[in-house]
Amino acid sequence: MEFSRPVRWLLLLAVLLLAVFPFVGADYYTELVVRIMIFGIFAMSLDLLIGFTGLVSFGHAAFFGLAGYVLAIVTPESSGVSLFWSLPLSILASGLAAAIIGWFSVRTTGIYFIMITLAFAQMVFYYFQEAVQWGGSDGMFLFFRPTVTIGNTVILDLEQNRTFYYFVLGSLVASLLLVKRLLGSPFGRVIMGIKANESRTRAIGYATFYYKWVSFIIAGMLAGLAGYLEVTHTGTISPGYLAWHESGIVIMVVVLGGLGTLYGPVIGAFVFVVLQDTLQDYTSHWLLIMGILVILIALFLPKGVTGLLDQILYRQGIQNTNNEDHGHQDHRT
């Protein structure tokens, strides 16, 4: 997995723009960008499953919400907890849940996989919905953001919105590089093979189950990171975060941005959040417009915004650009 040259430059430019944004953007929009970046990490984690492993998970919100709940549960009402243990703990919790759910789900394919991931996510959803000790359907608050201190020195004060902004930006860039690296690894090669042709991958000697399973776990952990950041950002968590609607929306965002591109889902998150924010201002029936947009995307933009971008960049058919992409990649290998 390598980005083509123009895409690389565009990404670099995007990161630079994001880095200076807090200095030029109004506070409200800075907040909005934080939300977009967190959503972007979440969508990117799902892209690892849908776009690269070929697993359409309809329960991804469960891992997002679960990590958020873990942070809210371990944080007392009087002070923040250290990020150094709460972040790994939250991510591990999501990873563990993904390991258990994945162990059962990854055996199935197609519609059944979609449905069994939905079923497990609904179980997690209802668990928190009914867990009165954790706020039931109203959810919980996080009164203090996690602390990043060594000894008595404050390394990062996440309560400061600007610091938190850069922390999220850093997480986004790190996640992108990490997943990109993952896809360039032997493991990445195998999961992409599974997406392209699973039975063939098995027939040349890969126990595909384990690769799908591990991919499911990694995606769950990355979703956990996003969930951790989200709760740190908003200060609340509720079962609604784990509901099937959220799983549906994140699928939509991934497709909107462009499957199997990693950066596409981040663009998808951007488009979705900005659209939602703008439409809301004009009409309380904005869901109607959103519905029409969703249908148009499904019908006419199956490769998402990045597919459109590709066409503009190369001024030719997408198939050919793919061809070139792979060409570049192989010369480098």
Q: In the window 240-299, what residues touch another protein (CB under 8 A)?
A: 240-241, 244, 246, 248, 251-252, 255, 259, 277, 280-281, 284-288, 290-295, 297-299
Sole residue written with tokens 């066409």: 311
- Contact between 58 and 122 under an 8 Å Cβ cutoff? The reply is no
- Which of 57, 94, 122, 261 is the binder for another protein (CB under 8 A)? 122
Stretch that binds another protein, among 8-16, 84-92, 147-155, 193-201 (CB under 8 A): 193-201
Alpha helices, DSSP H, located in 155-282: 161-183, 186-196, 198-203, 208-234, 244-257, 263-282
Total residues in contact with another protein, by rule CB under 8 A: 109
Q: How far apart are CA 193 and CA 205, in angstroms?
A: 12
Q: 226 vs 251, which CB is nearer to another protein?
A: 251
- What is the C-alpha end-to-end distance of the chain, expressed in Å? 11
CA-CA-CA-CA torsion for 311, 314, 317, 321, nearest 10 degrees?
-110
CB of 13 to another protein, least distance (A): 26
Rank residues 10 and 25 by Cβ distance to another protein and give the closer one: 25
Structure tokens at 21: 């944004």
The helix/strand/coil state of 76 is: coil
Report the alpha-carbon distance of residue 77 to residue 86 in Å, rounded: 15
x/- mask, another protein, residues 57-96, rule CB under 8 A, reads -x--------------------------------------
| Closer by beta carbon to another protein, 10 or else 240 | 240
Tell me which residues in 207-236 interact with another protein (CB under 8 A).
207-208, 210-211, 214, 218, 234-236
User: Which stretch, 11-19, 28-36, 220-228, 310-318, contacts another protein (CB under 8 A)?
Assistant: 28-36
Residues between 298 and 317 that touch another protein (CB under 8 A)? 298-299, 302
Encode 261-298: b = buried (16+ Cβ within 10 Å), e = exposed.
bbbbbbbbbbbbbeeeeebeeeeeebeeebeebbeebe
Q: Is 326 in the site for another protein (CB under 8 A)?
A: yes
Q: Which residue is it, tokens 């990649």?
A: 329
CB of 216 to another protein, least distance (A): 14
Q: Which of residues 143-172 bind another protein (CB under 8 A)?
A: 143-144, 157, 159-162
